[in-house]
Structure 1
């Protein structure tokens, strides 16, 4: 070993090996000029004490070498000086990898944090307790004074006690299993958890907890059976909010409409209300704003209306007029009859002013499936219409078309549905319809509350903020 290499022994140096290997600090224990290696004893790697007593580096792995302190103060070289015979030890090659660094023992847990200050104890110096050096700065603390406190703080952060668990991975799953989330939340929601959080409040004064969508103002208990009828239809339904809606027989339903007409709710006004609500439901079934928008005019939905010469048919024609006004392609099937109700004639006249089509023969209806079929073929007053040929041909076309069917105000019948409906829309209060797989909806037709009381019905509106609501069997 040359004389200059011997001067390095005992010096404290910082060796930067790049991002892959990181930064090492320690006391020079040996320098081999022939093999171009340098060894450090008691090394620190990225601010953490290495678990091995000595580390050896090859010149090819060293990016930068800095002297923090030299044992022989008479010949103290500057950073990057003192190596004249082998300059490759100071300026290492760029292609060096981790396999070029020889460790005396296998090292683990490589931390790539080079910003923490490092305190390295120096041997052979009586007035220095340690060296505080950030990896990005060259300032050295060599004197006494505050060195003792700095040494104690550094020992707490980077002492040997932190090295014993470096080879053990933290067991996240095992630690998480120790936390019983359900038990903790039940304790918080229960009286025991409340007492633990509020020692001064007695258990009987524990405030009620509310969800984010609940009203925090205290009110009267909700009465879910708020609609009572003098003649029950035999079935009960409930709304999404839990309100019970009973069915009524058709005779009571007819008396209710007659009472509403005497109070000023004429059939024309009732038809308009039904047309608006049923068309709004149909627009939602067709896709709403996702399907009906100015940017999507090339995919306009097609709806076929099957209507008879009666009040239910007039209701369907009113629905079709509103659908046509909302840029829906509507095709109205209304056969030519010798006698039709005045409401059907007036609604058909209004419909003829829209862009909708009207056909009188089933053969003129589309062969390919349409988006929606609205069934208004049946009549409450004349159930014999289902035996006529035009009715049967229209029902057969609807069942063959494979399009979903919405039936508006179908009558009570013990026979199975002629047209298989996916949705049924009842008016005011539901009728006791036959058991089927159809989804029942209820439409608000604008009957005042006092009109219900005139026919003996104690009424509370189940509609809330809507005009069409779903009903679920109880």
Structure 2
């Protein structure tokens, strides 16, 4: 008899302390009065253990949710006696309404049972035993039992939707019949709504009804009848650093020179920067010196800008950090006895102050400019190395070479041995070269550089100097106007900007 209940889905109420369990009956032991559930749910939550065993002493109520094989009750939820012995509460742990302790399980007749009250007039005891159960784990239990999901879509509590049909008239109602013979659950959730949901939707058949060629032909015909609309103007697209609300259009030619050079450059923002002749450049510096921008100030500004550019080329913050003292970059400066050489010495002083290994090449001369003497005195106080012979220069490749060998005034220096030796060393060394204030086009530099730094306004340079950069040496706007140059600063927030060919 106990084997008949194996595989059935039951709900066991163990009181407010232990709660309610649902699961599939895996074993029933009549001797020890225990029952075990496989894959149990506790208060609607799946238990972490695969099996739970209950004693008849702990069971307050046992409801059969589904009987294996569709046997007794034909899907009714039944309340049966478990047969508890001497249970708590005066009637045993497994008692039912009207069932004495220790009695055998009571068989409740189903709708198809001819011996029962199949006409729907059940006794009060049977009506109580046939009440629906909205248990916590009903949905999970039905899935575990392999039931058809469509039979539970209406959330009926007392019978499966498979029972609808000819036997529906004999189905017991929970709270009677009202509103034209509808059950209260059908009235709430809508009877007949899910009748056609069991059929799969035919996607292929529905797609075959769509005539794509006819639809596109209709669209083309409609477009031709309306006429082709005029091409709309594409709205302007702005960069993240551009102002959307512009009061007036930008004038990209903000610098005009009376004697333009042979070349023009443009900045990253599109501003045109014309080149100037060396005569106009020399006159601009002369007027600036009269207004107080002395040679010492220009040397300092040039040294700061050139050293800042060199530090960026050396790696910037990725290379020059306190934790990277074992890889300090090495820079060689090749300087001549002129103003351009003094600019290189000023740059070397600032590089040495930023923990860069600086080697300064400057030949021994009987007479040198006062600016070179003062700059050299400051450089020697930074700890940098000074050499006067090419033989003392590093034999291994260095990080950067800064060339300040050429002069705008004296072109005969290129014939001297020290100049040729320094140029040959720079060309043989595999380090990149930065030229500061290189000569104008037509006087090719002996050292082929990768970058060139011009001062104030660029000179017309040859392609051998590499990419051209422009640095601000602090010439006021009024000085530009005095020499006939219409000038608006192209530097923006920087002191060194790249120039491009238009």
Question: Which TM-score tier does this pair reach, normalised by the shorter chain?
Answer: 0.5 to 0.7
The CA deviation at 1:163 is 7.0
SS of the equivalent of 1:436 reads helix
Helix, strand or coil at the partner of 1:295: helix
For the residues of structure 1 that align with 2:250 and 2:191, how far apart are their CA atoms?
Answer: 65
Q: How far does the alpha carbon of each residue in 1:260-304 deviate from its partner, in whole angstroms, 9 at most, with x for none?
A: 001110000110010011101111111111111112111111100
- Deviation per CA, 1:429-460, whole angstroms, max 9, x where unpaired? 00001123711100100000010011110001
Distance 2:2 2:382 in 1: 108
Pick from 286, 296, 299: which aligns with 2:314? 286
Does the Cα contact within 8 Å between 1:421 and 1:438 map onto a contact in 2? Answer: yes
For residue 416 of structure 1, report the CA deviation from its aligned partner. 3.7
Residue 245 (structure 2) aligned to one of 212, 217, 232: 217
- Answer whether contact 1:118 1:154 (CA < 8 A) is retained: no
Pairing partner for 1:439 from 449, 454, 467: 467
1:263 aligns to 2:267 (yes or no): no
Do the aligned partners of 2:333 and 2:360 also contact (CA within 8 Å) in 1? yes
**What is the CA-CA distance between 1:404 and the residue it aligns to?**
0.6
Question: Could you list the runs of 5+ residues in structure 1 that have no partner in the other structure?
Answer: 15-24, 29-61, 85-100, 111-115, 130-143, 169-202
Q: Distance in 2 between matches of 1:117 and 1:367?
A: 91
Closer/same/farther in 2, CA of residues 274 and 63 from structure 1, 3 Å limit:
same
The SS at the match of 2:358 is: strand
The corresponding residue for 1:126 is 172
Q: Is the 8 A contact 1:239 1:471 kept in 2?
A: yes
CA contact (8 A) 1:119 1:154 kept: no
CA distance in structure 2 between the aligned counterparts of 1:216 and 1:311, rounded to whole angstroms: 45
Which SS does the other structure have where 1:277 is aligned? Answer: helix
**TM-score, length-scaled by structure 2:** 0.61
Match of 1:148 among 186, 195, 199: 186
Q: Is the 8 A contact 2:448 2:464 kept in 1?
A: no
Corresponding residue SS for 2:468: strand
**Larger radius of gyration between Structure 1 and Structure 2:** 2
By how many angstroms is 1:118 displaced? 6.1
Mapping for residues 44-443 of structure 1, pairs under 5 Å: 67-68=64-65, 71=73, 76=80, 121-122=159-160, 123=163, 125-127=171-173, 146-148=184-186, 151-152=189-190, 161=197, 164=200, 212-436=240-464, 438-443=466-471
Contact 2:65/2:77 (<8 A) preserved: no
Q: Relative to structure 1, is the Cα distance of residues 273 and 336 closer, same or farther in structure 2, using a 3 angstrom cutoff?
A: same
Asked if structure 2 preserves the Cα contact closer than 8 Å seen for 1:128 and 1:147, the reply is no
Confirm or deny: 8 A CA contact 2:472 2:496 kept in the other structure: yes
Residues in 1 aligned to 2:198 and 2:427: alpha-carbon distance in whole angstroms: 78
1:165 CA drift (Å) = 6.4
Cα contact 1:313–1:344 (8 A) shared by 2 = yes
Cα RMSD after superposing both structures: 4.2
Say whether the 8 Å CA contact 1:237–1:473 is kept in structure 2. Answer: yes
In structure 2, relative to structure 1, the CA distance for the partners of 1:26 and 1:264 (3 Å cut) is same
How many Å separate the matches in 2 of 1:207 and 1:285?
A: 39
- Larger CA deviation: 409-418 vs 382-391: 409-418
Gaps of 5+ in 2: 12-21, 26-49, 54-62, 68-72, 83-93, 95-103, 105-143, 164-169, 176-181, 205-231
Aligned equivalents of 2:475, 2:250: Cα separation in 1: 24
The count of residues paired between Structure 1 and Structure 2 equals 352
Q: 1:408 to 1:69 in 2, by over 3 A?
A: same
Residues 56-102 of structure 1 show CA distances to partners (whole Å, capped at 9, x for unaligned) of xxxxxx86899425626666367xx9xx9xxxxxxxxxxxxxxxx99
SS in 2 for 1:68: strand
Change in CA separation of 1:166 and 1:306 when aligned onto 2, cut-off 3 Å: farther
